[in-house]
């Protein structure tokens, strides 16, 4: 069973599956290979789910993460399943980091508004359930953009509407929800989360994920304060304090804004996907599970794809091998669930070259793993 996540910016999960089989088949040409590409709520979640569910893919032209850019509209893919009753949506499709060039990344102004536009379209179509993957966002607006797209108004002390983006929340005085979409409270709303970070603080949305979205140290501190202020205003409406709640820091704090208008359920993304695709049935028939992601480290233990699939394999006493582009900090902690881990990068080289060679690197590493397994079997027969 080959069950990896994507290798960000280089290979989709399906492509990783293909590469691993190509490498293994050089040594074990007669083995049966079952591809089970996965995601944990980030980019590729909808594609992964649609490989096991019946429905229709849709593409919507919506506002991208940077509304002020020259070409602010993006074509965002999402899906309808369960006879049109359930919408599968990713924050990354409309508000994702990969939609911006590195020089455009600025979580002070990026917005989840486009994601809200997709949700509004799904509500208009009469869905009764929405499943939203939170990974890969370019934003730090606490989901305020989603609320704005669904009819909410964010006002300063003079009654003026705020600009979009995380920094504008510093001036928030009042949230007007009288014009919110009437079906928001009528749907089941599940968010698939690949992290358990709280909203604010040293492990919060701004501090942990802000830098990769383009935030300087000073901007991280400012955005953390903005989210803290936003949480206080939200709690005055919902009477629930969510600043320290696990998972609320995902996607720049998006679950906070969602909690204003939906009855939100936060679930580990990989667990939701494994259940939806009935993965346990495939695991039970496997002799070996191979998983992986772009980088495996101590963060992998916090609900990432390799950890999720490895836990289930271990429950069935199936050995697990992990293949990653690189192995990061405290990788030893993975060995309680993943029997062995391998990095694919051959030598120190530029990121551009690593990404370009990802295909051949994974194939070669998989081949070498298979050859080692065969060699071990030879020793066992002597």
Domain boundaries, the chain: 13-36+281-380, 45-270
CA 44 to mean position of chain CA atoms: 8
Residue 358 has pLDDT above 70, yes or no: yes
Q: How many other β-carbons are positioned within 10 Å of the β-carbon of residue 356?
A: 13
Residue 38 and residue 50 in contact, taking contact as beta carbons nearer than 8 Å: no
13-36+281-380 fold: Rossmann fold (3.40.50)
Q: What is the pLDDT of residue 196?
A: 85
**Nearest C-alpha neighbor of 94 from the set 50, 153, 172, 149:** 149
Share of the chain above pLDDT 70, in %: 98
pLDDT at 79: 97
User: CA end-to-end span of the chain, whole Å?
Assistant: 28
Chain length of the chain: 382
Q: Which of 102 and 227 is assigned the larger pLDDT? A: 227
Residue 44 is predicted with a pLDDT of: 85
Query: Is 287 within 8 Å of 317 (Cβ atoms)?
Result: no
* Rounded Cα–Cα distance for residues 351 and 77 (Å): 28
Residues 200 and 224: beta-carbon distance below 8 Å: yes
DSSP 194: S
pLDDT (0 to 100) of residue 346:
78
CATH superfamily of 45-270: Glycerate kinase, domain 2 (3.90.1510.10)
pTM of the model: 0.87
Is residue 326 helix, strand or coil? strand
Report how far residue 240's alpha carbon sits from residue 216's, in angstroms, rounded to the nearest whole number.
31
Instruction: Tell me the pLDDT tens digit for each residue of 249-295.
Output: 999 999 999 999 999 999 888 998 999 899 999 999 999 999 999 99
Report angle CA 190, 192, 193 to the nearest 5 degrees. Answer: 130
C-beta neighbour count of 382 within 10 angstroms = 4
User: 30-39, 67-76, 127-136, 264-273 — which is least confidently predicted?
Assistant: 67-76
* 258, two tokens: 């969602």
Instruction: Supply the pLDDT for residue 284.
Output: 95
Give the pLDDT of residue 70.
57
Return the pLDDT at 323.
97
Higher model confidence: residue 368 or residue 357? Answer: 368
Query: Which residues make Cβ contacts (< 8 Å) with residue 253, sequence separation at least 6?
Result: 140, 141, 142, 143, 199, 205, 227, 230
Lowest mean pLDDT among 63-77, 93-107, 271-285: 63-77
Torsion of CA 334, 335, 337, 341, to 10 degrees: 80
């Amino acid at each position: 069973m080959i069950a990896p996540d994507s290798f960000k910016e280089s290979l989709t999960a399906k492509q990783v599956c293909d590469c691993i089989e190509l490498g293994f088949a050089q040594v074990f040409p007669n083995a049966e290979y079952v591809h089970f590409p996965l995601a944990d709520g980030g980019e590729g979640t909808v594609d992964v789910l649609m490989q096991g569910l019946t429905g229709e893919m849709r593409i919507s032209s919506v506002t991208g993460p940077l509304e002020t850019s020259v070409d602010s509209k993006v074509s965002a893919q999402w899906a309808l399943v369960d006879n049109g009753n359930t919408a599968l949506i990713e924050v990354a499709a409309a508000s994702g980091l990969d939609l911006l060039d590195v020089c455009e990344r600025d979580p002070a102004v990026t917005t989840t508004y486009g994601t809200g536009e997709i949700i509004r379209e799904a509500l208009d179509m009469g869905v009764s359930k929405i499943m939203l993957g939170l990974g890969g966002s370019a934003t730090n607006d606490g989901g305020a953009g989603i609320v704005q797209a669904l009819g909410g108004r964010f006002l300063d002390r003079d009654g003026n509407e705020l600009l979009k983006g995380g920094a504008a929340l510093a001036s928030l005085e009042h949230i007007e929800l009288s014009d919110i979409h009437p079906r928001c409270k009528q749907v089941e709303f599940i968010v698939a989360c690949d992290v358990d970070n709280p909203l604010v603080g040293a492990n919060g949305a701004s501090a942990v994920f802000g830098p990769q979205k383009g935030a300087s140290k000073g901007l991280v501190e400012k955005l953390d304060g903005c989210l803290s202020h936003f949480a206080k205003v939200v709690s005055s409406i919902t009477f629930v304090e969510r600043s320290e709640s696990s998972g609320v820091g995902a996607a720049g704090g998006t679950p906070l804004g969602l909690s204003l208008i939906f009855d939100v359920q936060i679930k580990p993304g990989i667990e939701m996907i494994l259940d939806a695709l009935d993965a346990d049935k495939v695991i039970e028939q496997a002799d070996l599970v191979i998983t992986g992601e772009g980088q495996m480290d101590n963060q992998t233990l916090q609900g990432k794809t390799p950890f999720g699939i490895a836990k289930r394999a271990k429950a069935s006493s199936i050995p697990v091998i992990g293949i990653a582009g690189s192995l990061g900090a405290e990788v030893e902690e993975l060995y309680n669930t993943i029997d062995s881990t391998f990095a694919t990068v051959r030598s120190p080289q530029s990121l551009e070259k690593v990404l370009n060679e990802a295909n051949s690197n994974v194939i070669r590493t998989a081949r070498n793993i298979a050859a080692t397994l065969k060699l071990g079997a030879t020793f066992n027969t002597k």
